[in-house]
Amino acid sequence: MKSAFRYHRSKLIISVITLSIFLFTTCIDTEKKKEAPAAIVSKITHEQFAGSASCAGCHKDIYTKHLNTAHYLTSRIATEQSILGSFEPGQNLYAFNNNVAVIMEKRDSGLFQVEYVNGVQKRIARFDVTIGSGTMGQSFLRWRNQQLFQLPITFFSAAHLWSNSPGFANNPTFNRVITSRCLECHATYAQVISPPAKEPEQFLPDKMIYGVDCEKCHGPGAQHVAFQTKNPDDSMGRHIINPAKLTRQQSLDLCALCHGGRLQKTTPSFEFTAGERLSDYFKIDSTTPDRQTVDVHANQYGLLRNSKCFRMSNTLTCNTCHNTHENEKTKTALFSQRCMSCHDVKHNNFCTLKQLPVSTLIKNCIDCHMPQKPSKAIAVFVSGQQSFTAALIRSHYISIYPEESSKIITEWNKKK
């Protein structure tokens, strides 16, 4: 009898232990499932892109002109041709102080930024990627374990000198991480291969489409190219986005992706494509931007949206003034002519400045109403200076700037 009781009790204990182990294991698995981020299947893949060179067959003139734009040149593989700064002795150094310097060196194995402390080499990193067309400057990235890091030295175009990279302290830093959100504005596509939320992110170098090229604004074009190759007489432009047919907000959203300030993404980078709503992919700041605090570099859309010209119009977009297929930098008269499409004598809203002749005014609305202002984002140390030097970028807050008008009047009077 006792033996039977002990047998049943042992059986009960074993069952309880087994059930406890099962429940404990189930809880652990459940927690693991809760903790593990769900795999994200991207709707945009590298295979969907054809590459901008494939556009040249049907759009040769546009393609050729686009190769010279700041958009197209905003990222490239680093070479002697793509890097504007000098590697010549005496012109290839940035000194942080009397003891520490970074020298840009051309060696048999490539191009490098080399840190020296008291003349002794401490750290070295290869120029792998050039970021920036050189209009304002160029920064540089290096690959390490399929991760990208920004190098400490930048080429600053305004001074035509090497400088510390924007936002860096005035000491050599080689470990600033480059994220997919950084690349989203400097590349057409980058394939992320690291799990969600893992930092630093990892990318496939051979599946990076450098520059902001045709497919950034027209959408991935592999299907379009395949169709048009088989149907060369079809002129409908199938399987591709025509930005000219977008609504006003769709057009603005396309530009605001990179010119709309610090957007907080809610989906992985490179998921947004032309024609979609930016708010489906980012948290949009709905507050009215203050032109005194919004940076002229980072948020041109915010400044434009706050301008009277924009608010009084139902059609004004970035493309009203900018032809993204061509490099129109410095063509002040051309931009001024676009202002004249609304502001002319016929519309009774021509410039009221009487101190300058009409012939002068129609050639340059820009310097008065969209003057160059110092950027907070692109401000660097140049060797020998103790304070930041800022890049000057044209403000997109279209307004009346009396101090700028006075400067122009003074200069015009001097030339008379």
Q: Say if CB 377 and CB 165 are below 8 A apart.
A: no
Which segments within 70-178 are labelled E, that is strand? 75-77, 93-95, 100-107, 110-117, 120-126, 129-131, 137-144, 147-150, 153-156, 161-164, 176-177
* Contact partners, residue 182, CB within 8 Å, separation at least 6: none
Q: Residue 377 and residue 185: Cα distance in Å, rounded?
A: 15
Distance CA 227, CA 184 (A): 27
CA-to-CA dists, residue 82 to 127, 254, 262, angstroms: 11, 27, 28
Torsion of CA 373, 378, 379, 380, to 10 degrees: -140
Q: How far is CA 219 from the centre of its chain?
A: 17
The three-point CA angle 370-374-379 to 5° equals: 150
Answer whether the bond into residue 200 is a cis peptide, omega within 30°.
yes
What is the DSSP code (8-state) at residue 211?
Answer: B
* CB 394 within 8 Å of CB 370: yes
Give the separation between CA 56 and CA 296, rounded to whole angstroms.
Answer: 34
Distance CA 85, CA 113 (A): 12
pLDDT digits (tens, 9 = 90+) for 171-229: 899 999 999 999 999 999 999 999 988 889 999 999 999 999 999 999 999 999 999 99
Cα 138-144-145 angle, rounded to 5 deg: 145
Dihedral sign, Cα of residue 280, residue 283, residue 286, residue 292: negative
Name the helix (H) or strand (E) containing 225. Answer: helix 222-230
Please count the other Cβ atoms lying within 10 Å of the Cβ belonging to residue 355.
13
Listed by start position, the domains of the chain span 72-212, 241-283, 287-416
259 contact partners, CB below 8 Å, separation of at least 6:
298, 299, 300, 301, 318
- Name the strand (E) or helix (H) holding 124: strand 120-126
pLDDT digits (tens, 9 = 90+) for 292-320: 777 788 899 999 999 999 999 999 999 99
Q: Are 211 and 188 a contacting pair, CB within 8 Å?
A: yes
Interatomic CA distance for residues 355 and 189, integer angstroms: 50
Structure tokens that stand for 102 in this block: 């970074």
- 35: three-class secondary structure by DSSP: helix
pTM for the full model?
A: 0.86
Q: What single letter denotes the amino acid at residue 207?
A: K
Write the CA distances from 209 to 126, 274, 306, integer angstroms. 20, 17, 34
pLDDT tens for the chain, 416 residues: list them. 444 444 444 444 444 334 343 433 444 344 444 444 444 567 999 999 999 999 999 999 999 999 999 999 999 999 999 999 999 999 999 999 999 999 999 999 999 999 999 999 999 999 999 999 999 999 999 999 999 999 999 999 988 999 999 888 788 999 999 999 999 999 999 999 999 888 899 999 999 999 999 999 999 999 999 999 999 999 888 999 999 999 999 999 999 999 998 899 999 999 999 999 999 999 987 666 666 777 788 899 999 999 999 999 999 999 999 999 999 999 999 999 999 888 887 778 888 888 888 888 889 999 999 999 998 888 777 776 667 788 889 999 999 999 999 999 898 888 87
3-state secondary structure of 129: strand
Whose CA is closest to 352, among 405, 414, 412?
A: 405
Token pair of 367, please? 């310097």
Q: How far is residue 394's CA from residue 336's CA, in Å, rounded to a whole number?
A: 14
b/e sequence 32-63, b meaning 16+ C-beta within 10 Å = eeeeeeeeeeeebebebbbebebbeeeeeeeb
How far the first Cα of the chain sits from its last, in Å, is: 124
The tokens describing 94, both together, are 């940035």
Asked if 176 and 169 count as a contact pair (C-beta separation under 8 A), the reply is no
- Residue 130: both structure tokens together: 């050039």
CA dist 139 and 78 (Å) reads 10
Beta bridge partners of 380: 389
Closest CA to 207 of 392, 48, 393: 48
